[in-house]
Amino acid sequence: MTTAGVHRAAATGFADGADIYAASRPAYPGEALDWLRDRMGIGPDSRVVEVGAGTGLFTRLLVETGAQVLATDPVAEMLTHLASALPGVATAIATAEALPVAAESVDAVICATAFHWFATPQTLAEFRRVLRPGGTLGLIWNVRDIAEPWVRQLSEITDLYQDDAPRQKSETWRDVFPAPGFSPLHETAMRYDHVGTAEEVIIGRTLSTSFIAALPDDRRATLVDEIRAMIAATPELTGRHEVHFPYVTRAYDCRRID
């Protein structure tokens, strides 16, 4: 599948890997709900657009606020999962640069583990267009905690397979800030552990990465073999029925200003 205006790793990797993405990606900490309410000002009377909503992992928290949510994504296969899990949420196939909503019609725009794919001045101009004056923009990511040695080793292995796909860890998304028409970014940090079997939280999570899902089968199999060898050689992972994959969840918010 090729989606116009979408990086090939996202268009191919997320379309082909939508099932494992839905099954293996970490959720978000409970404190993120407090962030939505306290920093983003989202509540039952709010209208929210989630951009790059994927399979709906973060959409679940938005639903808990009671807000009216429109979940958008350019990859239809991802939204199919979202619609199945959250049938009451409106969805639309759309890119970040062309949201199907009227000017000044929403209270908040949210990007969860997505903004690095479309961090351009044009995107921020579109967000400003749809936000009401004083409306909020929220960006949130689950970031691997590489202070844990095995997590750092895992990242070193997978980074060898990276192509030119945008990633949060490069922090090039920050280049578009400070942005015209928006207040300075405010950062909130939270802790989160993705808990499950090594197969779920390490192998599955790795295979859900766009540039890995888009690899030829033989290269992807080689990568999985490398990771299984790392797990077998790591005492805190091997033979465990349950492992904890540590993350630091980083959330950023700003407001539309005149």
CATH number at residue 134: 3.40.50.150
113 with 142: CB under 8 angstroms? yes
Is there a domain that residue 169 lies in? Answer: yes
Query: Which burial class, exposed, middle or buried, applies to 120 when counting CB atoms under 10 A from its CB (0-12, 13-18, 19+)?
Result: middle
Give the total number of structural domains in the chain: 1
Residue 215 lies in a domain: no
In sequence order, the 6+-apart residues with CB closer than 8 A to the CB of 18 are: 55, 75, 77, 78, 80, 81
- Looking at the domain assignment, is residue 239 inside a domain? no
Let me know if residue 204 belongs to a domain.
Answer: no
pLDDT digit string, tens, across residues 91-136: 999 999 999 999 999 999 999 999 999 999 999 999 999 999 999 9
Range of the domain at 61: 8-145+164-195+246-255
Q: What pTM did the predictor assign?
A: 0.88
pLDDT digits (tens, 9 = 90+) for 41-96: 999 999 999 999 999 999 999 999 999 999 999 999 999 999 999 999 999 999 99
Whether residue 233 is contained in a domain is answered as: no
In terms of Cβ atoms closer than 10 Å to its own Cβ (0-12, 13-18, 19+), residue 74 is buried
* Residue 2 located in a structural domain: no
Q: Is 97 inside a domain boundary?
A: yes
Q: Residues 79, 93: contact at Cβ < 8 Å?
A: yes
Residue 158 belongs to some domain of the structure: no
